[in-house]
A = this chain, B = another copy of it.
Amino acid sequence: MSDSVSPGNLGWELLSSEELHSTPYFRLRSDRLRLPDGAVKDPYYVLERPDAAIILAVTPDNEAVLVRQYRPPLRSEELGPPAGLVEAGEDPEKAARRELREETGHGGGEWEPLGAVASSPSLKDNWAYLYLARGVEPVGEEDPDEFERLVVETAPVRELEAMISRGEIVSSSGVAAIMLGLARMRGGPGEP
């Protein structure tokens, strides 16, 4: 892999790149970078990871559909919006609809994008595409992945901000999805 200086680089030049570890879930590489002032940063670690889709899904009764699951890195359970990986080349909204269906058994409703956030810009290259889905309803059984053990819960939309403040919803991208979705529902400047 090589990369010359281009406008997108802002003068940072990728001199070389070495793969350290590759798995089905991510690829870890070590870059050698030349800064615009000539300084050389080596190593700069980058974790390449698939993009994700996250959904603030709201029922006609103004209940948010959430999932609770154990998170080994945190050694605790986590409650948050349904989310999942976007497959290579897949439309993120299609992935979002599939993950909502598989994780919660919900579908339908009116969908709108809330933008995308970068998960960890200093280390990871992946993006989370955020959606607001209003009026979703149960459409069938859940169909989780092999090692997913999910419990579906609902919470009143008006309670979500307080739940975040109390530390009951903690994922940074999930919090971003909820707060941007609430702003959109208020009809604030989030409107396109």
Is A125 in contact with chain B by the CB < 8 A criterion?
A: yes
**A142 on interface, CB distance cutoff 8 Å:** no
List A residues at the B interface (Cβ < 8 Å).
3, 8-10, 12, 14, 20-21, 23, 25-26, 28, 31, 33, 35-37, 39, 41, 43-47, 49, 70-78, 80, 114-125, 128, 146-147, 149, 161-162, 164-165, 167, 170-173, 175-176, 179-180, 183, 188-192
Q: How far is the CB of A66 from chain B (nearest CB, A)?
A: 14
Interface of A is mostly: mixed
Q: Determine if A117 and B149 form an interchain contact, defined as CB atoms under 8 angstroms apart.
A: no
Task: Indicate which residue in B31, B46, B179 contacts A183 across the interface (CB closer than 8 Å).
Answer: B179
Q: Cβ of A125 and Cβ of B28 under 8 Å apart?
A: no
Q: Which of B12, B78, B115 contacts A72 (CB 8 A)?
A: B12
- Please tell me if the beta carbons of B170 and A116 are within 8 angstroms of each other in the complex: yes
Q: B residues within 8 A CB of A119?
A: 119-120, 172
Q: Are B161 and A71 in contact (CB under 8 A)?
A: no
Asked whether A161 lies within 8 Å of B149 as measured between CB atoms, the reply is no
B23 touching A43, Cβ below 8 Å: yes
The smallest beta-carbon distance between A24 and chain B, in angstroms, is 10
